[in-house]
Structures are given as C-alpha cells and as structure tokens.
C-alpha cells in the first residue's frame, strides 16, 4: 500500500508538472519535475488521480529536483 500523498502543480506555459511527495506526517520528502508534454498530453494528465501519479513515478518521464531530509 502506498502511504504517500502527491501534491501536483501544473505549469501551463511550460506544459510540465511539479510533483511533491509527502509522507504520513505531511512533510515533503521529494520534489520531482516532469518532462515537457504536448498540449494534448498535458491536458489529459491534468485529470490524473493520486494512483495515476503513483504509477507515473514508475516511469522515466521525470527527474528529481530535490530530496528533503527531515530530522525526527
């Protein structure tokens, strides 16, 4: 079971998405950015669900922007 939540920020101009992965405590653990998509692909992806983003992160169509280290 996936215990993460995905906060998605679309960038209409660049046709990319920023994906912030948060843990159960609500803290961001990773920040990713997608590749640039065609207008049609981008519009379709705007309807992605949490499960869709979970599965998306199994592809190679994104890159890591930042990994957050939290001291517990």
**Rounded-to-integer distance, Cα 46 and Cα 55, Å:** 15
Q: Over 60: is that where the pLDDT of 54 sits?
A: yes
Helices (H), 1-72: 39-45, 50-56
DSSP state of 58: T
**Rounded-to-integer distance, Cα 16 and Cα 25, Å:** 27
Burial of 32 (0-12, 13-18, 19+ CB in 10 A): buried
pTM: 0.91
Whole-number pLDDT of residue 52 = 97
Q: Over 60: is that where the pLDDT of 72 sits?
A: no
pLDDT tens per residue across span 8-35: 999 999 999 999 999 888 899 999 999 9
pLDDT band at 71; cut points 50, 70, 90: low
């Amino acid at each position: 079971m996936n215990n993460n939540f995905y906060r998605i920020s679309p960038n209409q101009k660049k046709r990319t998405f920023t994906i912030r992965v948060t843990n159960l405590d609500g803290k961001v653990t990773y920040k990713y950015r997608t590749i640039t998509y065609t207008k049609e692909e981008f519009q379709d992806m705007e309807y992605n669900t949490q499960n869709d983003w979970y599965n998306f992160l199994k592809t190679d169509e994104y890159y890591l922007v930042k990994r957050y280290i939290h001291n517990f």
